[in-house]
C-alpha cells in the first residue's frame, strides 16, 4: 500500500497570464499582468500606465498556450497528470470587469480547454483570481480598495461556476491572498488587489481594506458555488512561507509568532469565518477605521473553505527588532538569512523540512484537508552537449519535498489531497517576468528578450516525475 491515497491528485500548476499569451485574442481585455514589464532578481518589474509602445511585456505572448493548448495537454497526459491547476483569466470572461454580460468567446475557450483535459482523464483545478484582474477595474475603481469589487467578483465567479459545474470540481478563490503582507513594495498589492499608491497613502491600511473586501468576496463566491453544485470543493490559496525565530531567545520566538500572525490571519478568516482576536487588537491599536460591516461579518461565516490550498517554496527567519511588546512585523526589513539552509540563485531559501512544519502548522490550527498547489525550484537550465537538459538539481529539490510530504502523512497523520508542482511547463515568472527562471519538466524555447521558437521539449525531470506519478510517490 502506498503512502498517498489512491486518488491522490498528482498534477501540475500554472496561471493563465503566465502561459496563455493571446492577450487580445477572443475579445480578451487588458489585465494587470499586461501592464508589467520584464525585471530580474533585484530589479522590480515596472507597472506602466496602460500598455505603452516600445516596452517589453512578457505576458502578452507568454508561451502561447492559448494557441497550442491541444498539443500541450497531450504532453501533460503523457506525463501522467491526474489534474491540471490553471486559472481562468477574468479578462477573457469580463474584459473590463464591470460588464453585465460575459464574453462568450472567452467562456468557450475554457470549455474547450477543460474538454481537452477531461478527454485524457485530467481533472481541471481552477483558481478564479490568480494575479490577473481587469486593468479597467484599477483605473476606474481603484481596484480592491473599492467595495464594488465584491459584486464584480461574485458575478464573475457565478458565471464560471454555472458554466463549468459539470467539468470542474476543485476551485480556489484568490491566489496567494496573503502575498500583499509585503505592501512596502509595489508588486504584491498590484498583482493581488490592483492597488497603486500615492506617496502620502497609508499603504498598510489600504491593504487591509482591500484584503477584507476580497475575503468577503471569497466567502460570497463559496456560498454561491455550493448552491450551484454542492459537490464543489472550494479552497483558499495561501502563500505559505513559514517564519522561524532566528534563535531560541524568547523575544525572537515572540517576534516570529507575531510575524506568523501578520502573514497568516487571512487563513483564519477563510477557515473560521471570522477575524482572530490578535487582528482586532491590532486594528484597534493602529486606529485603522476599516469598513467592516455586520453584514460582512455574517457573510464571512457563510463561506468558509472546504480545504486549504497553499504554495510552498521556502522559509523565512526573523529576529526581534526591538519594537517592544508589539513586535510589529515589517516584511521588507525584518527578515534575516537562515544559516542552516541554502538559497536558490534568486535568494529563495531551500527548506524541505519547512514544508512538513508548515503542514503541521495548518493542521494544528484548522484540521482541514491540505492541497499543495505549488512547489518548485526556479533555476537557469543549460542545454547539454547531447541537446538535452539534465536538471538533477530540480529533481533533488522536488524529491526532498515529496519525502517531507510523506513524513507528514506517516508521522503526523495529515490529510493531503494532492500535489501540483509549479510551472511544470516553463512559463513567465510572476515575480520577475523572466523566462530564464524556469520551473518546468517541459522546456520552452524562449528567452528573456522574447526570442525563441516556443518549441517544447522534455527535460530529465519529465521522465522522473512520470515515474513518481505512476508509482504513486513510491519511486522517487
Helices 352-366, 250-272: crossing angle, 10 deg rounding: 60
Which one, 153 or 187, has the nearer CB to ligand P53? 187
**DSSP of 160-200:** HHHHTTTT--EEEEETTGGGGG-TTSSHHHHHHH-----TT
Among positions 358-397, residues that touch ligand P53 (CB under 6 A) are 374, 378
- Rounded to 5°, the CA angle 33-34-36 comes to 70
Applying CB under 6 A, does 429 fall inside the site for ligand P53?
Answer: yes
Residues 262 and 331: their CA atoms lie apart, in Å, by 9
Applying CB under 6 A, does 132 fall inside the site for ligand P53?
Answer: no
* Contacts with 230 (C-beta within 8 Å, 6 or more apart), sequence order: none
Region near ligand P53 per CB under 6 A, out of 36-44, 175-183, 264-272, 321-329: 175-183
Region near ligand P53 per CB under 6 A, out of 63-71, 95-103, 173-181, 244-252: 173-181
Which one, 56 or 162, has the nearer CB to ligand P53? 56
Applying CB under 6 A, does 422 fall inside the site for ligand P53?
Answer: yes
State which of residues 430, 435, 442, 468 lies at the interface with ligand P53 (CB under 6 A). 430
Which one, 15 or 372, has the nearer CB to ligand P53? 15
State which of residues 15, 62, 117, 195 lies at the interface with ligand P53 (CB under 6 A). 15
State which of residues 132, 176, 214, 296 lies at the interface with ligand P53 (CB under 6 A). 176
Size of the site for ligand P53 (CB under 6 A): 17
* Contacts with 150 (C-beta within 8 Å, 6 or more apart), sequence order: 213, 216, 217, 220
Least distance to ligand P53, CB of residue 32, Å? 13
Residues 183 and 185: their CA atoms lie apart, in Å, by 5
Residues 144 and 164: their CA atoms lie apart, in Å, by 26
Applying CB under 6 A, does 58 fall inside the site for ligand P53?
Answer: no
State which of residues 79, 89, 239, 256 lies at the interface with ligand P53 (CB under 6 A). 239
Which one, 4 or 422, has the nearer CB to ligand P53? 422
Contact call for residues 344 and 379 (beta carbons, < 8 A): yes
Which one, 59 or 299, has the nearer CB to ligand P53? 59
Contact call for residues 383 and 389 (beta carbons, < 8 A): yes
Region near ligand P53 per CB under 6 A, out of 49-57, 208-216, 283-291, 430-438: 430-438
Region near ligand P53 per CB under 6 A, out of 4-12, 39-47, 146-154, 426-434: 426-434
With CB atoms as reference, the residue minimizing the distance to ligand P53 is 431
Region near ligand P53 per CB under 6 A, out of 153-161, 244-252, 362-370, 428-436: 428-436
* Contacts with 348 (C-beta within 8 Å, 6 or more apart), sequence order: 313, 314, 378
Least distance to ligand P53, CB of residue 190, Å? 12
State which of residues 69, 94, 313, 362 lies at the interface with ligand P53 (CB under 6 A). 313
Contact call for residues 302 and 281 (beta carbons, < 8 A): no
Distances (CA, A) of 187 to 2, 195, 433: 41, 9, 11
Catalytic entry in 20, 214, 233, 374:
374
Contact call for residues 154 and 161 (beta carbons, < 8 A): no
Which one, 103 or 420, has the nearer CB to ligand P53? 420
Applying CB under 6 A, does 431 fall inside the site for ligand P53?
Answer: yes
Applying CB under 6 A, does 426 fall inside the site for ligand P53?
Answer: no
Name the E strands within 337-454: 342-343, 349-350, 370-374, 416-419, 442-444
SS3 assignment, position 75: helix
Distances (CA, A) of 250 to 319, 328, 357: 11, 15, 20
Which one, 303 or 440, has the nearer CB to ligand P53? 440
**Cell digits of residue 129:** 483570481
Contact call for residues 397 and 377 (beta carbons, < 8 A): yes
State which of residues 31, 129, 267, 311 lies at the interface with ligand P53 (CB under 6 A). 311
Residues 62 and 342: their CA atoms lie apart, in Å, by 30
Applying CB under 6 A, does 350 fall inside the site for ligand P53?
Answer: no
Which one, 305 or 430, has the nearer CB to ligand P53? 430
Least distance to ligand P53, CB of residue 296, Å? 26
Applying CB under 6 A, does 437 fall inside the site for ligand P53?
Answer: yes
Q: Is residue 243 within a helix (H) or strand (E), and if so which, with residue range? A: strand 243-245
Among positions 320-349, residues that touch ligand P53 (CB under 6 A) are none
Can 374 be counted among the known catalytic residues? Answer: yes
Residues 94 and 102: their CA atoms lie apart, in Å, by 5
Least distance to ligand P53, CB of residue 31, Å? 13
Closest C-alpha among 472, 457, 318 to residue 406: 472
Applying CB under 6 A, does 89 fall inside the site for ligand P53?
Answer: no
Region near ligand P53 per CB under 6 A, out of 115-123, 155-163, 171-179, 285-293: 171-179
Contact call for residues 89 and 102 (beta carbons, < 8 A): no
SS3 assignment, position 363: helix
Query: Which chain residues interact with ligand P53 by CB under 6 A?
Result: 15, 18, 131, 175-176, 179, 239, 311, 313, 374, 378, 422, 429-432, 437
The catalytic site residues sit at 374
Amino acid at each position: 500500500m502506498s503512502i498517498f491515497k489512491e486518488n491522490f491528485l498528482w498534477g501540475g500548476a500554472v496561471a493563465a497570464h503566465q502561459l496563455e499569451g493571446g492577450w487580445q485574442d477572443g475579445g480578451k481585455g487588458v489585465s494587470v499582468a499586461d501592464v508589467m514589464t520584464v525585471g530580474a532578481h533585484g530589479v522590480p518589474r515596472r507597472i506602466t500606465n496602460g500598455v505603452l509602445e516600445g516596452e517589453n511585456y512578457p505576458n502578452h505572448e507568454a508561451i502561447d498556450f492559448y494557441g497550442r493548448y491541444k498539443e500541450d495537454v497531450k504532453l501533460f497526459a503523457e506525463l501522467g497528470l491526474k489534474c491540471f491547476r490553471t486559472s481562468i483569466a477574468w479578462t477573457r470572461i469580463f474584459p473590463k470587469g464591470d460588464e453585465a454580460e460575459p464574453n462568450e468567446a472567452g467562456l468557450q475557450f475554457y470549455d474547450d480547454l477543460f474538454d481537452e483535459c477531461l478527454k485524457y482523464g485530467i481533472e481541471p483545478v481552477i483558481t478564479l483570481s490568480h494575479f490577473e484582474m481587469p486593468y479597467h477595474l484599477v483605473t476606474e475603481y481603484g481596484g480592491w480598495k473599492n467595495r464594488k469589487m465584491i459584486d464584480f467578483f461574485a458575478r464573475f465567479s457565478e458565471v464560471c461556476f454555472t458554466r463549468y459545474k459539470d467539468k470542474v470540481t476543485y476551485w480556489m478563490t484568490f491566489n496567494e491572498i496573503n502575498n500583499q503582507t509585503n505592501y512596502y513594495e509595489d508588486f504584491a498589492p498590484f498583482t493581488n488587489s490592483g492597488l497603486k499608491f500615492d506617496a502620502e497613502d497609508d499603504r498598510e491600511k489600504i491593504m487591509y481594506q482591500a484584503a477584507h473586501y476580497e475575503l468577503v468576496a471569497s466567502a460570497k463566491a463559496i456560498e454561491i458555488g455550493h448552491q450551484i453544485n454542492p459537490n464543489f470543493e472550494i479552497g483558499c490559496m495561501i502563500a505559505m512561507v513559514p517564519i522561524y525565530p532566528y534563535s531560541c531567545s524568547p523575544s525572537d520566538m515572540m517576534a516570529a509568532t507575531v510575524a506568523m500572525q501578520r502573514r497568516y490571519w487571512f487563513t483564519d478568516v477563510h477557515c473560521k469565518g471570522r477575524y482572530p482576536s490578535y487582528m482586532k487588537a491590532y486594528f484597534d491599536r493602529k486606529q485603522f477605521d476599516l469598513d467592516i460591516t455586520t453584514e460582512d461579518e455574517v457573510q464571512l461565516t457563510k463561506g468558509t473553505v472546504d480545504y486549504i490550498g497553499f504554495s510552498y517554496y521556502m522559509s523565512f527567519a526573523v529576529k526581534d527588532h526591538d519594537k517592544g511588546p508589539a513586535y510589529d512585523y515589517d516584511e521588507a526589513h525584518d527578515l534575516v538569512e537562515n544559516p542552516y539552509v541554502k538559497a536558490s540563485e534568486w535568494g529563495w531559501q531551500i527548506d524541505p523540512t519547512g514544508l512538513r512544519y508548515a503542514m503541521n502548522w495548518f493542521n494544528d490550527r484548522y484540521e482541514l484537508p491540505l492541497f499543495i498547489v505549488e512547489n518548485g525550484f526556479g533555476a537557469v537550465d543549460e542545454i547539454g552537449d547531447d541537446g538535452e537538459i539534465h536538471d538533477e538539481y530540480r529533481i533533488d529539490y522536488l524529491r526532498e519535498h515529496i519525502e517531507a510530504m510523506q513524513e507528514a502523512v506517516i508521522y503526523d497523520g495529515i490529510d493531503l489531497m494532492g500535489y501540483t508542482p509549479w510551472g511544470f511547463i516553463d512559463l513567465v515568472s510572476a515575480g520577475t517576468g523572466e523566462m530564464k527562471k524556469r520551473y518546468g519538466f517541459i522546456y520552452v524555447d524562449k528567452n528573456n528578450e522574447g526570442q525563441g521558437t516556443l518549441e517544447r521539449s522534455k527535460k530529465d525531470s519529465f521522465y522522473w516525475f512520470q515515474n513518481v506519478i505512476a508509482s504513486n510517490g513510491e519511486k522517487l
